[in-house]
């Protein structure tokens, strides 16, 4: 059973996720019914658009307000909620002195999102230098990047370099084509954890239980347990006991596409 959600936009008034605390509570009730108990509240952060100090203040206000609502509800005491950020990749991350404020609270884990348009420059070097500073890199929804799906060896190189990869629950249970890619990457030890990336019940509901059923049916309960164990380890600030990755092999049809 999966009990950890490492990617969500549940905090109200922060981004294009929950527009108010009522939406947040609806999402949290769905998470609760799915068995989720630990949630990283990863609101969008772009270093080009906002200072970390400004983001931290906005997030603190939102988190405090949401906790007040939770304290007066049937969800009181149910969740371990961790303020965090979904960080848009930028080379300037290396220059930030307050990068700890963007980590999942209680950890040194940075959830980093790439552009969907192209593979950004210097990623391996930037990740290596961030890791040298003690940070753990978690790549957000890797299945959503066309350039990575076309060249999964990029994912292999980044994982071999010490990064971890997250995929969205919705991608597992709502798209057979995308799940086929995810499954192949899982078989190569290149996918480590799930997140809902939930925004609201209309645009992107939390589909964790639905995704769990798909994975259990097709890949077994052991894979479900592995995904949850990795998530728990990351939130506990421990080094995950991850599989040794193998390089994705090209199939016959892949070569015909060249």
Domains and CATH numbers, the chain: 4-256 (3.20.20.140)
Residue 81 tokens, joined: 């909620």
pLDDT in tens, 226-247: 999 999 999 999 999 999 999 9
pLDDT in tens, 11-25: 999 999 999 999 999
Distance CA 27, CA 199 (A): 8
Whole-model pTM?
Answer: 0.95
Contact 43, 199 (CB under 8 A): no
Selected residue with higher pLDDT from 255 and 7: 7
Distance CA 142, CA 128 (A): 18
């Amino acid at each position: 059973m999966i009990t950890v959600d490492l990617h969500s936009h549940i905090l109200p008034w922060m981004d294009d996720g929950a527009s108010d605390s009522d939406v947040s509570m609806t999402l949290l009730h769905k998470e609760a019914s799915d068995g989720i108990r630990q949630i990283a509240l990863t609101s969008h952060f772009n270093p080009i658009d906002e200072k970390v100090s400004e983001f931290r203040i906005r997030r603190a206000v939102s988190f405090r307000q949401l906790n007040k609502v939770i304290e007066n509800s049937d969800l009181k005491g149910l969740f371990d909620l961790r303020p965090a950020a979904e960080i848009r990749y930028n080379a300037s991350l290396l220059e930030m002195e307050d990068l700890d404020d963007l980590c999942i609270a209680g950890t040194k884990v940075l959830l980093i999102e790439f552009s969907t348009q192209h593979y950004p420059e210097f990623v391996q070097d930037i990740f290596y230098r961030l890791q040298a500073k003690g940070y753990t890199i978690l790549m957000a929804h890797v299945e959503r990047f066309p350039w990575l799906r076309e060249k999964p060896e990029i994912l292999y190189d980044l994982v071999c370099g010490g990064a971890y990869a997250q995929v969205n629950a919705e991608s597992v249970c709502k798209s057979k084509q995308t799940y086929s890619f995810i499954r192949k990457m899982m078989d190569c030890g290149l996918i480590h954890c799930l997140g809902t990336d939930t925004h609201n019940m209309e645009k992107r509901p939390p589909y964790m239980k639905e995704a769990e059923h798909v994975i259990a049916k097709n890949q077994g309960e052991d894979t479900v347990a592995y995904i949850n164990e990795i998530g728990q380890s990351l939130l506990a600030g421990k080094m995950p006991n991850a599989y040794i990755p193998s390089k994705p092999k090209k199939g016959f049809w892949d070569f015909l596409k060249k």
